[in-house]
Amino acid sequence: MTPQANPITLVDSHCHLDKLDLTPYNGELAGALDAARDAGVRQFLAIATDITDAPAIVEISRAHSDVVYAIGVHPLRTRDEEASLEALREAVDTFEPVAVGEIGLDYMAPEGKAPGVPVDVQRERFERHLAVAREAELPVIIHTRGAKEDTLTLLEKYVDPAVGGVLHCFTDDLDMARRAIRLGFYISLSGIVTFNQADNVRELARQLPLDRLLIETDSPYLAPVPHRGTSNEPRHVVEVARMIAEVRGISMDEVAMQTSANFYHLFRHAVPQMPEDVQSRLGHINHTMSA
């Protein structure tokens, strides 16, 4: 793969690389990653939804220098036994992720389409993860649906604003986003921003400070327009950047550059893996803190 003379610099800040449909690439993850690199994606953050998934994610990262990873137990992940504080600490110490996640609260799981995890179990699980992340001084990656006040209350209780985190695949209201930003958080937008009925998410893309936005695919889920109905993959993050640029009336390159700078500002442990040409392109961006 030959880099473009002036390549766009995109980061897929949330993708499930161990769950991609690799049929178009003869079952090879390298093919999907190369397709994304050809589209301008220079960094991938692979997300484990359980600490038992961590070894596979770590192996992917070892094989691909532009992949970093986060580990945590998803709020809807069913388990025979909850991971204790000690087990979570050990996982963080052993695997050395750049963040803890995805974790959080989900009170809107569609009946029959997602496993049921009782709210009290979700809350206890969430608090254990937040406590471990704070001890390790790692940012957190938050999944939240229908749990605005509970989520914000726990973030305020546990998260150091100097470390912060991200509300991933965000679709809630502007008030929640602004309150999270004041707690040191970023807001990540996914392919939902391209959906026909997602005017509220496009309004978020228009109003939120650009220096507090991240972009993601959440692949293999939530493929953006014009790929709806197919399995999502990291190369499609370009469509998220394109829509944000359109609604803000700015260049796609500006969106790509700022959201990439935001990524490295938040996930500081990913900085050593930043390609040199990306460092050069991002070097002139002054990252400011917005409220």
Tens digits of residue pLDDT in 203-254: 999 999 999 999 999 999 999 999 999 999 999 999 999 999 999 999 999 9
What are the b/e assignments for 185-220, b being 16+ CB within 10 Å?
A: bbbbbbbbbbbeebeebbebbeebbbbbbbbbbbbb
**Full strand arrangement of the beta sheet holding 10-15:** 10-15, 41-47, 67-71, 99-106, 140-145, 165-167, 185-189, 213-215
Question: What pLDDT does 273 receive?
Answer: 85
- Give pLDDT tens digits for 151-196: 999 999 999 999 999 999 999 999 999 999 999 999 999 999 999 9
Rounded Cα distance between 1 and 166, Å, is 32
Bind-site residues for a divalent metal cation: 14, 16, 102, 143, 168, 218
Residue 2's closest CA among 26, 34, 44, 48? 34
CATH classification for the domain delimited by 10-282, as one of 2.40.50.100, 3.40.50.2300, 3.10.129.10, 3.20.20.140: 3.20.20.140
Beta bridge partners of 141: 166
- Report whether 75 contacts 103 (CB < 8 A): yes
Q: Which residue's structure tokens are 């490295």?
A: 264
Question: What pLDDT does 32 receive?
Answer: 98
Rounded Cα distance between 21 and 84, Å, is 32
Tell me 65's DSSP state. T
Bind-site residues: 14, 16, 102, 143, 168, 218
- Give pLDDT tens digits for 96-155: 999 999 999 999 876 555 567 999 999 999 999 999 999 999 999 999 999 999 999 999
Residue 141's closest CA among 52, 236, 243, 16? 16
Rounded Cα distance between 291 and 280, Å, is 28
